[in-house]
Structure 1
């Protein structure tokens, strides 16, 4: 067995053992002074669980100095259990690690203050053991904390998904024990890929999960209560509880897009809790319409896509509207010119730039389109019919 470490003529482990209880109380007081979150913990917890685990650490370090060995699994077990409890209490991991590292440094400083030049070899051994302690404790505490948080998040996500499913399905029995908001803003979301998602695995999957976490956090900052969501990396549904006014759709969408680092399309519809299924249906349909008709990333409500929305409902009129432009099918340039002309706000020069042709060519093609279809974009009434016909054709192309 290795000889015990001697410092200033006294076994180091005895210096700690003799004062472990009083030193633990001093350390806890220092945690309260130095680490803000500890000032918010109840006195009962500080004087009980926190002081006990601190004293256990001091005795563990003492045993390491006595036997000149790393901490054992049995010695680390109480630290793991304590870290799991702190995770349940939502004490930040960085605060927990700060306490362990602060305690190790404090013990080291107290011992070094007793040393003399004759203790140089002992100090080297002590330094090695303190580093082993810090390494082992950091690993054990982080692992236990993160495992507990992962389990908690899994349970929270499961409960959240169950609540969303019950709301969407109108399951009043399942919702009986859930505290619901008076109203919800239902968001149907489509999310583009972040550039990092194109990496080889596991980098792509990690980037997708991180993107999803950032999106959830961005939405939560615009709510006063817990947001409900069923999301994956490509989109899904978000339910924002409304107890007062609605958050700005433009601001929420912008915040999500910045957080995601990717394009986002959002469709919104609000309603009381018992109307969430209907609101979700409208939001999902508005989102589909916005995507089908090539709307740019952003936030949309039904009022923003009324014409396109109506054209996507099953109707004999939709087919007939699309058929108004059938005379142009044998000349795709005419149909494309007409579409770009309307998309450009009836600006012939801009249309010519986009099509890479002379403005006179645009004029000629528009005249030919008028001759073939009888629809003149210069006539406001006929312009509306042309726009509706183009929208109907785009919807039909999507269905194919």
Structure 2
């Protein structure tokens, strides 16, 4: 049995209509574009409080976006197969700064309001018989607009994030290199730094891998500890400028997780960001000198590393030991300096020091308590005794260098 030859299929009028749109509906859309845009803006003014509170310039930009959206829908309805870039057609009419002035939530409300106005006008705009076709087209277009909105804000967020990262790196580098000035304050303010009254720097080794992941981990830890931070990876070092805490060790312990194994040094607390250079330089000198104290705690204060820093050539540490330990003891009287020196030379023996000084051991004990009161360092502690001995040596060398 032979199969009859298939006859050519007739043109599909519905496919042609969906491809090029109905001429009458298109004409009505074009004529109604202005009134639809005006109705959408009026609806926003009526139902969106944030729109009413915006400056006139921003409201005018939103009006242009609404008009562009309706015009783009008309063109999209005419040629749905072209899949033109809706984000360019609609959001390209507004400046990039508008994404900072209007949140994503507000943009969604703006788009929803405009779509609702257009949907309510379908019965009036569509030619007889085209209502379902126009409603279906508007539904698909609304989906495309939603994706376009997400793309615009995602691109803006990526660009802003990249710029903020570069800006933050500049601030951190300026503080670490000692080049901080008023310009650094303005850059930090742009990053959300609220000028806390207590600032310190934490310095350690950066882990291998993506530095952005490390920075994100520091920020999460800071949010959990309710700290302000500016952070960055400079070479192999992870630098964190932290504000809002008066306890350096507590701050460092809250942020220590993302650091690579190895020493983590905490600089002294300073009053503001411009003074953070001093904290950063102390932390950097401490990190360099940590090799001389293998059993140093982690984290460790930069001031606890003063002897090692002084031996490594840190003039700030040398001056600090002389000015904060030797000079106060010198001013307190020769008896304290002499007693401390003899006590340290006698292997921290009260009886041995008393014999050398021809005094009672209780007198030595009293004088050593006075040393602790004056300097904050206890001669009976091994580590403190090392610091005091170093201060005595540096103080005597400083006296010897002064002209008679």
Task: Indicate the TM-score class for this superposition, using the shorter chain for normalisation.
Answer: 0.5 to 0.7
**Kept after mapping to 2: 8 A contact 1:14/1:62:** yes
1:209 pairs, out of 185, 203, 212, with 212
Q: CA deviation at 1:270?
A: 2.6
Contact 1:286 1:302 (8 Å CA) reproduced: yes
State the Cα deviation string for residues 40-80 of structure 1 (Å, max 9, x = none).
Answer: 96332443222222222122223222443556459725614
Residue 74 of structure 2 is matched in structure 1 by 62
Residues 139/250 of structure 1: CA separation in 2 closer, same or farther (3 Å cut): same
Residue aligning to 1:238:
240
**Distance in 2 between the 1:159 and 1:185 partners?**
18
Of the three residues 289, 307, 311, the one matched with 1:310 is 307
CA-to-aligned-CA distance 1:158-207 (integer Å, 9 cap, x gap)? 65256426xx43x5xx73655597976331322664xxx7xxxxxx53xx
In structure 2, do the counterparts of structure 1 residues 302 and 272 end up closer, same or farther at CA, with 3 Å as the change threshold?
Answer: same
Q: Say if 2:222 and 2:254, in contact at 8 Å, map to a contact too.
A: yes
Query: What is aligned with 1:142?
Result: 154
Of 76, 81, 105, which residue of structure 1 is paired with 2:88?
76
What is the SS of the residue equivalent to 1:84? coil
Task: Kindly provide the CA deviation profile for residues 126-184 of structure 1, in whole angstroms up to 9, marking residues without a partner as x.
Answer: 433443343345434533x235414642563365256426xx43x5xx73655597976
Structure 2: which 5+ runs fail to align?
A: 1-15, 187-194, 313-378, 387-404
Distance across 2 between alignment mates of 1:77 and 1:120: 25
Change (3 A) 1:163 1:265: closer
SS in 2 for 1:269: coil
Alpha-carbon separation, structure 1, partners of 2:171 and 2:247: 24
* Partner-residue secondary structure (3-state), 2:311: coil
Contact conserved, 1:187 with 1:280, CA < 8 A, in 2?
A: yes
Unaligned runs of 5+ in 1: 198-203, 316-380, 389-400
Question: What is the Cα-based RMSD across aligned positions, in Å?
Answer: 4.8
- Farther off after superposition, 120-129 or 180-189: 180-189
Q: Normalised by the size of structure 1, how large is the TM-score? A: 0.53
How many residue pairs get aligned? The number is 287
* Structure 2 residue aligned with 1:23: 39
| The structure with more radius of gyration | 2
How far 1:15 moved relative to its partner? 7.5
Q: How far apart are the structure 2 equivalents of 1:132 and 1:272?
A: 52
Aligned partner of 1:364 in structure 2 is: none
Helix, strand or coil: the match of 1:23?
Answer: helix
Alpha carbons of 1:310 and 1:140: their partners in 2 closer, same or farther (altered >3 Å)?
A: closer
Cα distance in 2 for partners of 1:149, 1:31 equals 30
Helix, strand or coil for the counterpart of 1:237? strand
Higher relative contact order (CA 8 A, sep 6+): 1
